[in-house]
Structure 1
Amino acid sequence: MTVLIDRPMWPAHGTVWSHLVSDASLDELHAFAAANEIPRRGFDLDHYDVPARRYDALVAAGAHPVGNRELVLRLRASGLRVSARERANRAEHPAP
């Protein structure tokens, strides 16, 4: 079980962002996020978006830095990846 983080490179809201994922379970991901005071609002179906200023602290807390390609490959291999089609479907039909 591993929590992975890619380099901050995704621009939005005046900063760049990393993705934080688990290659084992969403429970592991949520536990790691909670232990590191990452707000639940940062969760986006299969990952947390985290600002660049948090990157070093999350690595120090045990997140393994990987490239964005490896992050996606490992997320897919885990079966936790939410596809673009699933994202669009959920956006069109949100849960009550």
Structure 2
Amino acid sequence: MIVIDPPNAAGHGRLWSHLASDTSFEELHAFARELGIPERGFDRDHYDVPSEWYDAAVAAGAVPISSRELIERLVSAGLRRRKRR
């Protein structure tokens, strides 16, 4: 399932959502391509999506969930990729 959290991450003068899949990266990449999200928006285990694109992502089938639930789903699915330190 494709999920998206609310646009609450600030960066580069705007707010961002995180688009992820709790099934596979293949599903996530295919959904992002259909929406026209550039590949450069992929960050380890999710796509960064500007707030202006949130409604379009939901209209295309992304399920709105909390940021906490998004992380929990990635971890449960074994798809969470943490930043290297």
Unaligned runs of 5+ in 2: none
Q: Distance in 1 between matches of 2:74 and 2:84?
A: 19
State, as a whole percentage, how many aligned pairs show the same letter. 55
- The structure carrying a bigger strand percent of its residues is 2
Displacement of 1:21 in angstroms is 0.3
Matches within 5 A, 1:1-96: 2-83=1-82, 87-88=83-84
Q: Distance in 2 between matches of 1:88 and 1:71?
A: 20
Give the TM-score normalised by structure 2.
0.97
Residue-by-residue CA offset, 1:23-68 (whole Å, 9 max, x unaligned) = 0000000000000000000000100000000000000000000000
After the TM superposition, which parts of structure 1 deviate over 3 Å for at least 4 consecutive aligned residues?
none
Q: Give the number of equivalent residue pairs.
A: 85
Unaligned runs of 5+ in 1: 90-96
Q: Distance in 2 between matches of 1:54 and 1:15?
A: 12
Give the TM-score normalised by structure 1.
0.86
